[in-house]
Amino acid sequence: MNVRSVDPRVALVLAFSGSFLLAVARSYATLLTGLIVAVVLVFVRRVGLAALFRRLVRLQLLLSLFFLLLPLNWRDGSLTWDSHRLELPLVIALRANGILLWVTAWVEPLGVAGLLHGMRGVGVPAAIVQIAMLSVRYLSLMQGEFRQMRMAMASRGYSGRAPAAAYQVWANLIGMLFLRSLDRAEHLRRSMAARSLGTNSANHSGPLQVKDRIVLLGGVIGLSMLAGLEWFSRAYR
């Protein structure tokens, strides 16, 4: 059974449920277990490790500020560093890393199209899904047009060193960028109309396959066990 090709609806439900459980968890047992499961899912779902590593590095840089600032304590007119106050940043670090790995493992293999289809399938309004779809497409078009214009400017020897001339050139560049983007948007609208892509298009609400039901059932059982572990840790702490 290929766990990578899970139905987008199942992936989104499990991603949201697992991240919510990790966000409210307090015990180290639950957080460490969730983190280990998320790491296993990253390899099972064959997530791109290079991009994930870059995200993790940025996250650790942010979390290092919590470890430096939260233990600081102002007492008797002096600033001290209390090692006993490291528990809160440690819990925040476990939560953040677990949620990042968990959501990445379920959402990244879907791609943009799968993510949008999954959003529609779990009941997100069609208007929001279409706005998200057009935003992704439109931003990529604007980025491509801007790159082409920059290359055209560089090929004509523009350096941008003269401030007065640079403002005028950049104003013309932005104006042409929006005009060409509007033209691209009109072509996109016509292509969507030709394919009958409207608010009443397929909402991807068909029945789940047996494989997807097994994954969903296993995810629900696993998350239930994590929730039980959290309850046990709080009750007998």
The rounded distance, in Å, linking the Cα atoms of 90 and 165 is 53
pLDDT of residue 59: 94
pLDDT of residue 17: 94
Q: What is the dihedral of CA 16, 21, 22, 25, to 10 degrees?
A: 160
The rounded distance, in Å, linking the Cα atoms of 25 and 223 is 12
Phi-psi map region of 201: left, alpha, beta (phi>0 left; psi -120 to 50 alpha): beta
Count of C-beta atoms within a 10 Å radius of residue 35: 20
Residues 193-236 have pLDDT tens digits of 665 444 444 445 678 888 889 999 999 999 999 999 999 988 88
Helix, strand or coil for residue 123? Answer: coil
Residues 91-114 have pLDDT tens digits of 999 999 999 999 999 998 888 778
The rounded distance, in Å, linking the Cα atoms of 115 and 39 is 21
- The C-alpha angle with vertex 143 and arms to 138 and 146, in degrees rounded to 5, equals 125
| Residue type at 74 in one-letter notation | W
Q: Which residue has the tokens 């499990």?
A: 14
Q: For 25-34, 47-56, 168-177, which range has the lowest pLDDT when averaged over its residues?
A: 168-177
Q: For 50-64, 68-82, 152-166, 171-185, which range has the lowest pLDDT when averaged over its residues?
A: 152-166
What is the band of 174 on the pLDDT scale with cuts at 50, 70, 90?
A: confident
The rounded distance, in Å, linking the Cα atoms of 23 and 29 is 14
The larger pLDDT score, comparing residue 129 to residue 25, is at 25
Q: Which residue has the tokens 């997100």?
A: 124
The rounded distance, in Å, linking the Cα atoms of 227 and 58 is 29
The larger pLDDT score, comparing residue 23 to residue 159, is at 23
The larger pLDDT score, comparing residue 158 to residue 88, is at 88
> With contact defined as beta carbons under 8 Å apart, do 8 and 114 qualify?
yes
The domain segmentation of the chain, as residue ranges, is 8-120+205-235, 125-194
